[in-house]
Amino acid sequence: MLSLASESRIHNSSRLFFWIIILNIVTALDTFGFWFGFFTETTFPIDELKPLIHNFEGYYAWEKCFVVPDTILAITTLLASIRLLKNQGDLLGLLLITASAGAWIFLGVLDFTYAINNGMYTLGHPFSYVLLSIGVGLPIIGSMTLWTLYKVTQKTTATRK
């Protein structure tokens, strides 16, 4: 694993890559936090939201379908990130973080379009802001990850020639 001392000695693109990997770890852990808040009703208080959400039962069933895919995505992101913290050139880690970045983009866009089409941002409840942060944040994180991977890979390829 990279220590702070060794992290400071690596070049700028690797430093950026290091922080993008940290961001992916935080995103994966935040995904677990979302589901904890959802099922403990910390962020998704059923009694408050039921009268606000049109077709609440359908929405609740739809939302619960994401538990397993989100968990797989978060675990895959953590696995990739840990491998890449140990070795930034780890091919399996690079493959998995690339797939995870695409999945974060897909998940965020899916959540954003669903929320826009179903009035989830106009509930007048803090849960709307949680949904907005997911719908906007995940595509940004996924895109930043892919852009960073491209830049780091491009720089690595250029130095090998």
Calculate the CA dihedral of residues 117, 43, 48, 106 and round it to 10 degrees: 10
Digit-coded pLDDT (tens) for 22-80: 999 999 999 999 999 999 999 999 999 999 999 999 999 999 999 999 999 999 999 99
Residue-wise pLDDT for 74-105, tens only, equals: 999 999 999 999 998 899 999 999 999 999 99
Alpha-carbon dihedral 124, 117, 55, 132, rounded to 10 degrees: -40
